[in-house]
Structures are given as structure tokens and as C-alpha cells.
């Protein structure tokens, strides 16, 4: 049996008629940039997340950059984030001229650890008379918190928001892997991307909500931020050839992608439920094997399983054996970002962020997509158990 790591053909087969007809309609009208499909998708996606506004853009990486710009993160400032994430999280910080500060993750959930954030803010920062926070080592202002809802599990937002509040930090969420995931805050179930001042999403094809190519969006509740992002994604134009901002760029998402995303958005909850069912099948088969560490879903949080990540001993051999048996596996991510060559200049050393490093060495992402069958899961689990010896 062959089990691909991800297979998007089934999800497209399911809605192929609708996709074909909307593509035909757009070609007939030949209106490819801007217009009703973009506006409709933005309205629908904001409503889905539970925010007032959504701004569609070219990619999740652009979404993160726009979100940081929108909350006012600027040159020479520091943003607290995690090293256990996809590099785009950190690229966005450096793209706005800011500096990343890495804090370690919680080893059980793989998310930003509120305790480590507190350690950094309380131990390594100084609060000035005007309330601003300065990193005692670098002397730079610390202005924002950028948690990543990694693998589809929301980060522990309540203590993170309390810290942000106490230290006057902005919060930008990287929700690129967590469309539709939710977290209970003060008795209310809220979707990821809506806790801070801006939340960034990616519509890369394999994400829980994926375009037929690249795409992204930022959600926010604040009108001025929505307006700013609309300017920046379109060359700083307030009207055609009238440029009111020098921070503009072309980050627009085209109407074909928005039209397809609108169609898929209607299925997102159903597809997320399918992912949760797949996760349940994995759990039933693997939970009694104490060599395997399964993903956790703490109370009050809804996981949408963008990835199903386990930790195993001898990861390297297990991975090779699964590949040999026709099973697609992934590593998300094998090198903690603070140890990447790209960030050498930040001066981190092996051992500085032990949870992130230990996790990077032992994780393995098993096949996960909505249309995975129980037979396929069964085969993956049997092969995995055998590979562990
Ligand atoms: C996919 C991803 C991004 C970047 O999104 P792109 O659309 O590929 O630019 C950012 N952060 C995380 C955690 C991601 O998984």
C-alpha cells in the first residue's frame, strides 16, 4: 500500500464542478485582479474567523509582514517568537527591520511557552518610566509577541495575552497552520487569528484552507489597520496612481484564487472534522504504545490537525523504514531556527532552547489530510509499530 504524506486530489474532485464553473466565469469576464471575488472572499473569511476585516494577500509570508507593519512594529525593535516554526515567521520580523528574540516552546504542546516568555520579560528586560520595555542585553525596545499556532493547535493565549497586556506588547498571531482552530477565552470560544491585534493566515495549497497556488490573508478588528494593509498591498495607492505611502508593494491576491478559496471555505469545517477523525484513528491505534508520544489537545482548545506530529525514538531509522514501505512522512521542522545558519548572527548556541532542540530531533509528521482513509491510517500505524522494533 502507498500512503502519500498529503494528497489534495480528492478535495478537488469533490468540488471540481464548482471550481471549473467559477474559473470559466472569471475568464469570460476577464477580470483577474481585484473585484467582487476578492471582496466576497475577504468578507466571508472575516466572518468565518469572527473579525470585522480580512485583507487577502499574496502569501502567508506577506500576511505576516503586513500584520507586523499594521501593528506598528518597526526598524530596530524586537519581537518575541519561537524557534520551532517555519522560517517565514521570522523572515517577516526581519523584513520589517525588526529583530527576533526566541523563547522556548512548551515541550508537550509544541507551542510558545508562556513561562519562558515571562522569564524573558521579567528577567532580561527593563520597564522604562514611560512603560516601554527594553531588552537589557541588546538595549532595543521589545514591542510585540508573535506566537505560532503550530500544527493546528492554538497556543496558550490566555497567559500570553495577560503578559502582553502587562508589558504593553502588541500580539500578532501566525495562524498559517490553524484555520478554524479555537480556544476558550473567558468563557467564549474564539478562533485563532482573532486574539491579538492582527492574525496572519496562509493559503498555500497544503494548508487546511488552500488555494490553487499561493495566497494569504490578515484578519483584524481595527478599521485603520485594515485600511493601512489595503494600501500597502497595492503600491500604497489610495486611488489609481495616487500613492500615499512609501511602504507599498504588490501583495495582492488575484480573483481566481479568491473565488476558489470562497468555495473551499464552505467545506473548511467539514474538512477539519475529517482531519480530527483521522487523528482519532491514529490515537486509537497508537495510544497504548509508550514509545510514541502523541499530540496533545488540552481542554478548551480545538486542534485542527494541519499536521499529525508524533515523537519517536530513533527517528531517523523509523523515517527511512516508513519511506521504504511507501509511506510519506515529513519533519516539521528538523533544525530549530535559532541554530540555522541564517540566524547565526543572533548568537544563539546549542543548548540555549532545550525544548525546541529536543523536539526538532525526535518529531515525525505522519500522513494527514481530510480524505485519508481508515485503512491507510491502519497501515501507517502497523508499519510504524513494526519499525519501532
Ligand atoms: C506556511 C506557513 C507560513 C508561510 O505561508 P506561505 O503562504 O507559504 O508564505 C508561515 N508560517 C507558518 C507556521 C507556516 O506553516
Q: Which of 82, 84, 88, 95 for mutating ligand 1's site (highest number of atoms within 8 Å of CB)?
A: 88
CATH of 9-265, one of 3.40.50.720, 3.10.129.10, 3.40.50.1820, 3.40.640.10: 3.40.640.10
Q: Which residue is closest in CA terms to ligand 1's atom 10? A: 88
Rounded to whole angstroms, the Cα distance separating 66 from 361 reads 32
pLDDT at position 161? 98
Reply yes or no on whether the pLDDT at 386 is more than 90.
yes
Distances (CA, A) of 333 to 87, 312, 330: 9, 14, 8
Nearest CA-CA partner of 63 in 208, 185, 173: 173
Averaged confidence pLDDT in the chain: 98
Atom 6 of ligand 1, residue of closest alpha carbon? 60
What pLDDT, on a 0 to 100 scale, did the predictor assign at position 146? Answer: 98
Domain boundaries, the chain: 9-265, 268-388
User: Phi, psi (5° rounding) for residue 382?
Assistant: -65, -45
Q: What is the pLDDT of residues 179-201, one digit of tens each?
A: 999 999 999 999 999 999 999 99
- Largest pairwise CA distance in the chain: 67
Residues with CB under 6 A from ligand 1: 59-61, 85-86, 88-89, 148, 174, 176-177, 202, 204, 214, 216
Domains 9-265 and 268-388 fall in the same CATH topology: no
Q: Which CATH class is domain 268-388?
A: alpha beta
Distance 265 CA to ligand 1 centre (A): 18
- Pocket of ligand 1, candidates 202, 212, 217, 309: which has the most ligand atoms within 8 Å of its Cβ, to mutate? 202
The whole-model pTM stands at 0.98
Averaged pLDDT for residues 148-177: 98
What the block records as the C-alpha cell of 151 is: 500544527
Amino acid at each position: 500500500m502507498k500512503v502519500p504524506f498529503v494528497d489534495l486530489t480528492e478535495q478537488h474532485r469533490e468540488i471540481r464542478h464548482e471550481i471549473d464553473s467559477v474559473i470559466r466565469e472569471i475568464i469570460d469576464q476577464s477580470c483577474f485582479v481585484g473585484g467582487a471575488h476578492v471582496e466576497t472572499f475577504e468578507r466571508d473569511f472575516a466572518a468565518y474567523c469572527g473579525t470585522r476585516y480580512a485583507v487577502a494577500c499574496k502569501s502567508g509570508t506577506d500576511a505576516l509582514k503586513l500584520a507586523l507593519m499594521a501593528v506598528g512594529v518597526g526598524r530596530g525593535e524586537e519581537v518575541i517568537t519561537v524557534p520551532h516554526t517555519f522560517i517565514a515567521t521570522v523572515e517577516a520580523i526581519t523584513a520589517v527591520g525588526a529583530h527576533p528574540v526566541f523563547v522556548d516552546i512548551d515541550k508537550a504542546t509544541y507551542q510558545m511557552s508562556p513561562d519562558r516568555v515571562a522569564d524573558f520579560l521579567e528577567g532580561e528586560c527593563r520597564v522604562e518610566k514611560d512603560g516601554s520595555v527594553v531588552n537589557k542585553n541588546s538595549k532595543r525596545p521589545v514591542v510585540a509577541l508573535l506566537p505560532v499556532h503550530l500544527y493546528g493547535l492554538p497556543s496558550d493565549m490566555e497567559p500570553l495575552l495577560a503578559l502582553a497586556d502587562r508589558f504593553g506588547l502588541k500580539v500578532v498571531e501566525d495562524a498559517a497552520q490553524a484555520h478554524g482552530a479555537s480556544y476558550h477565552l473567558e468563557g467564549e470560544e474564539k478562533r485563532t487569528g482573532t486574539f491579538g491585534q492582527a492574525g496572519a493566515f496562509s493559503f498555500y495549497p497544503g494548508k487546511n484552507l488552500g488555494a490553487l497556488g499561493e495566497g494569504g490573508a490578515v484578519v483584524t478588528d481595527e478599521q485603520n489597520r485594515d485600511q493601512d494593509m489595503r494600501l500597502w498591498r497595492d503600491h500604497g495607492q489610495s486611488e489609481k496612481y495616487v500613492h500615499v505611502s512609501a511602504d507599498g508593494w504588490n501583495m495582492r491576491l488575484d480573483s481566481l484564487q479568491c473565488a476558489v478559496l470562497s468555495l473551499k471555505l464552505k467545506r473548511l469545517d467539514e474538512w477539519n472534522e475529517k482531519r480530527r477523525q483521522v487523528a482519532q484513528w491514529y490515537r486509537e491505534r497508537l495510544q497504548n504504545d509508550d514509545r510514541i508520544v502523541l499530540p496533545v489537545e488540552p481542554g478548551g482548545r480545538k486542534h485542527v490537525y494541519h499536521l499529525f506530529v508524533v515523537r519517536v525514538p530513533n527517528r531517523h531509522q523509523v523515517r527511512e523504514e516508513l519511506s521504504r514501505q511507501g509511506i510519506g512522512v515529513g519533519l516539521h521542522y528538523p533544525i530549530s531556527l535559532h541554530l540555522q545558519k541564517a540566524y547565526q548572527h543572533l548568537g544563539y548556541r546549542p543548548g540555549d532552547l532545550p525544548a525546541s532542540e529536543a523536539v526538532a530531533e525526535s518529531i515525525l509528521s505522519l500522513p494527514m489530510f481530510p480524505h485519508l482513509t481508515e485503512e491507510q491510517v491502519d497501515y501507517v500505524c502497523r508499519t510504524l509499530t513494526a519499525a519501532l522494533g
